[in-house]
Amino acid sequence: MIFSFTLKHKDADTRGRLGKVTTPHGEIRTPAFMPVGTQATVKALSPEEVRETGADIVLANTYHLYLRPGHELIRELGGLHRFMHWEGPILTDSGGFQVFSHSALRKIDDEGVTFQSHIDGSRHHITPELAIEIQEALGADIIMAFDECTPYPATKDYARQSMELTLRWAKRCREKKSRSDQALFGIIQGGMYPDLRKECAEKLVKIGFAGYAIGGLSVGETKPMLYEMLEATEPHMPEDAPRYLMGVGKPEDLVEGVCRGIDLFDCVMPTRNARNGFLFTRQGRLVIKNAAHTREEVPIDSECGCYTCRHYSRAYLRHLYMAGEILAMRLNTIHNIAFYQDLMGDLRKAVGEDRLGRFRKDFYGTYQKQEVQRK
């Protein structure tokens, strides 16, 4: 079998799962965090540096690669793996969220989405069939069905219409898919309505997909609502398929998601925060520009073994950031992605040892959701 998911162990006290996804380009240890390489690059890093952080898989985006440089060019040049020099698994998002985020530039109907490019204003029309054609040209290991990302807030009537449109598009994506070496995931929508989430999940399962994603979260709702939607949706997702929570990625969200049975995560947070001087530590988020770090001859996180923490002090990193040096973004990004990969490794170990509940408690005992209080 080219693509498979193996459920290795379930935590004794939570919904946490330990597993393995097998793809044509290698294995993914789950639960896993996927660094975001929107435009065929994880910003500021080489593929070798991304791999050194412990990442098994990266994410690229259909919308952006369709607009530039174009999926046909990438196909001609040997596919996305060869194009970006990444030998491991790749997941491509279908572009539904990007179209959603440029709402002023798009129009949705049953056939698909008409939108203006955010690059040059040119008009484009993407259908579910074209979304699959693009992703098959790119050649990612995991591809996503085209969906409408339901906004927040939304009335129940709107959320239902959006969900039903997503289901129709999902079926068309399933029918269009032709490559046997790619796994197609369906996306569960339904807004903030548990009954709609349940209905969408059950109908997607009837269509049949290799994996199932939860979309339409982290779009402005509160944390309790996010977790409520996870708890309402997860029981209706097949146990023998990977479960992917799209675009959700604060460290505490990863912990809570794993406790609720999620296998895959992605988010721009570690890379975007790194470029803006916000660094993750086991005590919370550190702001490297703060004057308190001017003379600190210690690493970002004394427990971190990443390249940045092995070689550079907070004082030097602050100097680079304040001077506007490109190296600041590179070193900060290496650390933040490594932090996320270390957290996932700790979560996998905790699940395997039936102590995920205790890990969660210990995590909140040291990790502060706000900035580390150093001024």
Check whether 96 has a pLDDT greater than 50.
yes
Q: What is the CATH class of 4-267?
A: alpha beta
Check whether 328 has a pLDDT greater than 80.
yes
Residue-level pLDDT at 195:
98
- Region 249-272: mean pLDDT is 97
pTM of the entire predicted model:
0.97
- Is 266 a known active-site residue? yes
**How is the chain split into domains, by residue range?**
4-267, 274-371
How do residues 290-312 score in pLDDT, each as one tens digit?
999 999 999 999 999 999 999 99
Residue-level pLDDT at 375:
36
Distances in Å between the Cα of 222 and the Cα atoms of 159, 192, 229 are: 17, 10, 11
146 in Cβ contact with 125 (< 8 Å): no
Which DSSP string do the residues of 46-59 spell out, in sequence order? -HHHHHHTT-S-EE
- Is 181 a known active-site residue? no
How do residues 169-223 score in pLDDT, each as one tens digit?
999 999 999 999 999 999 999 999 999 999 999 999 999 999 999 999 999 999 9
Give the burial string for 113-148 (b: 16+ CB within 10 Å, else e). Answer: bebeeeeeeeebebbbbbbbbbbbbbbbbbbbbbbb
Check whether 118 has a pLDDT greater than 90.
no
- Region 348-360: mean pLDDT is 98
Residue-level pLDDT at 374:
47
Of 56, 253, 266, 301, the catalytic one is: 266
Of 93, 147, 263, 301, the catalytic one is: 93
